[in-house]
Structure formats: C-alpha cells, structure tokens
Amino acid sequence: MHELALSRSIASIVARAAEGRRVAVVELAVGDLRQVVPSTLERCWALLCAGTALEASRLAIRRCPGVIRCDDCGATTRLAELPILRCEACQSTTVHIVSGEEFLVTALQLED
C-alpha cells in the first residue's frame, strides 16, 4: 500500500531527527497531486508506530493545493478535482506546476 510505504519513510526521517526524544506531533505538507489519502495515511501511521517509540505521536497533515503557472501569459491556475494542466486565462498547455507535489516533514513537536 502506497500510504504504508510513505509512513515507513516518514518514520525513518522522524526517528533520525528526533534523536531519541519523544515525538508528539509530526507536521507534514502533502500536495494534492500526490494522491495521498490523509485518513489512510493516519491509519497506516498508527499501525506502523504501535509498540515503537513513536506510538504516542500523531500526524498533522497540511494539504497543498495543485497550482500551475502559465509559461505563455504568466497566469496561475488552481487545479480542480481532476488536474487538467491548462491555463485558465489563455488556455495554453505550456505550463509548469508550482504547488501540489510536496511531500515533506515540515516540523516535529517534541514532548517536554
């Protein structure tokens, strides 16, 4: 499962960064173009961390919208449910993605 593999990589990043300190919250930025289901990711996280030092931690997931910028007219378009890579202003398809592909651990909240 996609989310389980992601949970494993998050856990290894977090374990390295925490250096033995107890983690309360793992803050994540997840782009809408990543096709990650937050509730599934949270469930996988709980499963994966059960019985480990990260058992008491939870994920705080911030979604980043899919946004493209047009190379022809410079306009930005926020992508709707189905990402169609076309400029809203001039209909050009010469565009690049400026947001939506993130998958980052942005911060850890540690317990005292």
- For position 92 contacting Zn ion by CB under 5 A, the verdict is yes
CB of 93 to Zn ion, least distance (A): 9
CB of 100 to Zn ion, least distance (A): 18
* 91 φψ region: left (φ > 0), alpha (ψ -120 to 50), beta (else): left
The residue among 72 and 101 lying less far from Zn ion, judged by its C-beta, is 72
- For position 87 contacting Zn ion by CB under 5 A, the verdict is yes
CB of 63 to Zn ion, least distance (A): 25
- Structural element, H or E, at residue 46: helix 38-49
Site for Zn ion in 57-86 (CB under 5 A): 70, 72-73, 75
Pairwise CA distance, residues 73 & 101, whole Å: 22
**Count of Cβ atoms closer than 10 Å to residue 3 Cβ:** 20
| Polymer length of the chain | 112
CB of 64 to Zn ion, least distance (A): 22
With tokens 């096709």, the residue in question is 35
Name the residues that contact Zn ion, by CB under 5 A: 70, 72-73, 75, 87, 89-90, 92
